[in-house]
Structure 1
């Protein structure tokens, strides 16, 4: 069971996904800081400046619409960067592979396949021997 979990973690997809999540979170923090530091003050400036710029009050309750616009701009910037730097290039590579202009992922060689079969057979023998030993049978 532990070996299966280790194999799952060591797959390239899981590690790539973890890296993507960390980089995405860091990038979102940068975009959020940019919009908070530069765009929100501009929104407040264009809405008249002053104490209640980017806000309005109804019965003493403050509605901060500048923060909503700021979050919307943060989302749009993040989505645009992900689309243009990740989705579009990967889509282009996939289309080139379909047309045969670019090689796909490398297939394992015969030697690599034979080594994998050998290792699986060894694991099977070790598991069988351990099972016989635990059951009290002979290991001969």
Structure 2
């Protein structure tokens, strides 16, 4: 096995971690487009929309944090096991893919929660 082939295998974990970072950027852009200025800051709809966007960001952030930890730990064990026995690489890579799915689940939940943010349209007297 060549040195280039081994280094390409070690980069897989970095690619998964960068995908998690892209998930955060995508959700940040979605949340930014949902923000609106309102003349009724303490209206129940305004508060619900604000808390919905806040909770969406928190959920995506924590899901990506845990996903990054999971991918990092599995990635280091993948590199160590590949150094010992190269037949284990694909098996551990599948586990790493399942670990990176945690971030994707967080993004899906965050998008669903942010879609619930509706700002009041009518001005109450």
More helix by share: 2
Bigger proportion of residues as strand = 1
Give the structure-1-normalised TM-score. 0.32
Q: Answer 1 or 2: higher relative contact order, Cα 8 Å, separation at least 6.
A: 2
Q: Which has the larger radius of gyration?
A: 1
